[in-house]
Amino acid sequence: MTTRTTTGVSHYHVQKTRRAKFLEDWRQNHRDVVAHDDVIMQPTERGSRVGVYVGVDGDRPTRTMDALVHEFDPGTTTTVHRHSWDAMVLVVGGWGWTEIDGERIEWGPGDSLHIPAWSWHRSGNDGTATARYLTFSSEPMLDTMGMSILEDAGHTPFAELPGRPAYTPRLPGDDPYARRVRRLGREQQSRRTGRLHTSWDDMEMVNTPRGTRTTFLLDRAIGYQASGITMAMFEIGPGRGQSMHRHPGEAWLYVLDGSGHTYLGTEPEGGTNHRWKKGDLIIVDHFLWHQHFNDDPEKTAKVVRIHMFDSLLETMRALCDPLVLFEEPPTHIRDRQAGDPTTIQWPALDRPTWP
């Protein structure tokens, strides 16, 4: 059978044109800050309202992660669904609960959760005020491989739902197939026993050389088994800034509290400053130098950082070696930019409020 092109030109020209158009479309779509006021909340068939900070379903395409916000009115219980990707949850207002494979987790402002791939889950609000949380998922990355699958089961009781996809935990032998079966079995066993919830009340902030204090929210360092998305929160002192650095991949920063600005540029100088406030999402991409500043002279600013370090960025570092894919100024410049965080009078770590 002969394969013939219908374009009349070589594969070289087809691929070159396609790749050029992809980059042109991507650059035209790029944003630096998505303001809270620009996120339109819409009612859904699940019983909640959903808005899109970043994601193709909100006409803001992205490649590896999306960022959505969900609101639940008092008395709401959403439909139960599951999907082939996993998601991270950051609660920003109100009190409620999420049921993950039959396990009910109560949450409040500042809490975070991990929803593993293929786990049935639903959320509810038994209180008297609207609850609100953000989700950050790996759906766009799976979509690039044709592996994004979503199943909604309405209000079917959990006991009547099928379990997660079955897998073979072990097989005897030392051949490549048997070794693969055991390796993937161990991986699934680990992923299905990972941590699901971080309570705000259990967090401990630690000073860093970059002039801030910080803590993990969702990361393998504290027992989570995710697809690579990690979440950490850092706090910037009044009138202070975080030291400058750059890295590839999509990195997002949700402003949990405070106001300030972020420097973005292809060089450490000569870039642009972008203002942000509580509820905004800062988007850092294209290997840009960036530095975050708290413009309030009296109050600290709290920012939650999300990226795909444990999968996508680790893979990029291996593929691009010996190129350096995380870069910051020499130590003496970093320390001058950051200042000494021990000189800051850090406030008590109170739960965030919304609005």
pTM exceeds 0.85? yes
Written in H, E and C, the secondary structure of 151-212 is EECCCCCHHHCCCCCCCCCCCCCCCHHHHHHHHHHHHHHHHCCCCCEECHHHCCCEECCCCE
Same domain, 338 and 204: yes
> For residue 66, which of 9, 129, 148 has the smallest C-alpha distance?
148
Same domain, 133 and 212: no
Residue 337 φ/ψ, nearest 5 degrees: -65, -40
What is the per-residue pLDDT for 277? 98
In a domain, 97, yes or no: yes
- Per the rule left: phi > 0, alpha: psi between -120 and 50, beta: everything else, 70 is beta
The two structure tokens encoding residue 255: 């402003």
**pLDDT digits 0-9 by tens, 61-88:** 888 899 999 999 999 999 999 999 999 9
Range of the domain at 327: 199-343
In a domain, 7, yes or no: no
Q: Where does a domain end: 141, 166, 191?
A: 166
Same domain, 145 and 214: no
The total number of structural domains in the chain stands at 2
Same domain, 132 and 242: no
> For residue 336, which of 240, 266, 196 has the smallest C-alpha distance?
240
Same domain, 139 and 234: no
The residues with which 87 forms a beta bridge, in sequence order, are 115, 137
User: The domain that contains 297 carries what CATH number?
Assistant: 2.60.120.10
CB-CB contact of 246 with 219 (8 Å): no
In a domain, 304, yes or no: yes
CB-CB contact of 140 with 134 (8 Å): no
Same domain, 256 and 336: yes
In a domain, 185, yes or no: no
Same domain, 216 and 315: yes
What is the per-residue pLDDT for 21? 86
10-residue stretch averages of pLDDT, the chain, 355 residues long: 62 84 79 94 97 92 91 97 97 97 97 97 96 96 94 97 95 96 95 96 94 95 91 97 88 96 94 97 90 97 91 80 86 89 94 91
> For residue 304, which of 218, 206, 185 has the smallest C-alpha distance?
218
> In sequence order, which residues have a C-beta less than 8 Å from that of residue 60 and are 6 or more positions away?
29, 31, 34, 52, 53, 54
Same domain, 235 and 334: yes
Same domain, 103 and 223: no
Same domain, 157 and 208: no
In a domain, 22, yes or no: no
What is the per-residue pLDDT for 150? 98
